[in-house]
Amino acid sequence: MIAVLVIAGVASLAAFAGLHWYAWRRLVRDTTTRAGLARRAGTVVFVLGPLLMFAAVASERAGAPFWLQQVLSWPGFLWMAFSIYLVLAVLVGEVVRPLLRRYLDRGSARGGAESGALPEPVLVPARDPDEPPTATTTPTPIPTSTATPTPTTPEPVTPSAAADPSRRLFVSRVVGGAAVVAATGIVGNGAYGVLRGPRVKRVTVPLARLPRSAHGFRIAVVSDIHLGPVLGRGFAQRVVDTINSTQPDLIAVVGDLVDGSVEDLAPAVAPLAGLRARHGTYFVTGNHEYFSGAEPWVEHVREIGLRPLENARVEMGAFDLAGVNDVTGENYGDGPDYDKALGDRDPGRAAVLLAHQPVMIHEAVKHGVDLQLSGHTHGGQLWPGNFIADAANPTLAGLERYGDTQLYVSRGAGAWGPPVRVGAPSDITVVELASKRA
């Protein structure tokens, strides 16, 4: 197993290096004429960007000083997103490149044909026959035939884009410049979408066992806030303000709240003490809580007013609300316990389960849960990553049914790694429960 992981890691690094070399070749080497300042500067960018990216990930995983994580994370993680779309844009440029060359060749051919036309005739005044010839006068030859000779016009020589170095350079600069502009625009728009804060979605979920008295009960679901070296206190406050503006009956924080220690991130998490809901705010762990230290975080969120559901259940009056630890906790001796959370309950009551990862739906079905609320996927976060996330999870985002159990997956409020989302906008979802008896 270790050998397989090593081989996969080496192959991934080789592919990563190969793609960066390809992008450097197209964007730096092919757009410069010699090893001057421009080529050296471009090479430095393509070397420094990946180094900062790996340093950002390593500093977070190794628990480096928080100030160092902050310094490395912004440029490192932004390069991660930028390099993805830069390579994709350069690949698209390979399709555009021959079309642009053909267009330039046709334009050159038309221009060459026009420049090959015969010149206008020049009239030379005739000499007076009575005037004696001078030394400087050239006798006019007498034609021996009345036929007019047909002048021959040489074929214009039109160099192709492939044979003309200046043409190749022009094409490379146009295509490369367009690729950089496109990647910058995509990443910039994706970063703006994250930093402005999540938008509110509203979903109505009918539950067969929900009594009429609970019809219209609203749960604000928020997941994957990922407070850390990139997203901090200001972002947390935007999330809190958005949730409170919906005036929910209950708030469910379904994991991946943080990326870092309590010591470093307590100030960033502090705004969550301002969450307001009639029936309170509940919290379950995600995989990143275990990377960051789940036990101290569970205690800290309890101190600021959130109620952790560690394989536990509470009766909300009209239905049961349960929560289980994330499956990553199994590696720390603290995994999900469905029997503890859902056993010995009244099967006639509706049950809503908070579980971070969608893959936990299969156990929810076995235990007769009506609705599971999850996050974790980010909706893929960065297209085309949605295809990978979709393959790894039963549901990528939104509401789906599994037998008698429904699963709702939020795309999450924040972002892991690059503070960028493309094709997967962040959200806070207000789930309105509906009684089929109403």
Tell me the mean pLDDT per 10 residues along the chain, length 438.
79 92 94 89 96 95 93 96 97 92 78 56 53 49 49 50 72 95 97 96 96 96 97 97 98 97 97 97 97 95 97 94 97 95 93 98 96 97 96 96 97 96 97 86
**What's the pTM value of the predicted model, to 2 decimals?**
0.85
Going by the DSSP 8-state scheme, the letter that residue 328 receives in this structure is G
Nearest by Cα to 216 from 433, 373, 437: 433
Nearest by Cα to 367 from 408, 340, 338, 393: 338
Nearest by Cα to 183 from 424, 415, 426, 420: 420
What is the reported pLDDT for 101? 85
Nearest by Cα to 423 from 388, 384, 368, 396: 384
What is the reported pLDDT for 142? 47
Which run of H or of E encompasses 433? Answer: strand 427-435
Q: Which residues pair with 401 in a beta bridge?
A: 406
What is the reported pLDDT for 132? 53
As a whole number of angstroms, the longest Cα–Cα distance in the chain is 135
- CB of 233 closer than 8 Å to CB of 268: yes
Distance, CA of 217 to CA of 205 (rounded, Å): 10
Nearest by Cα to 203 from 438, 427, 436: 427
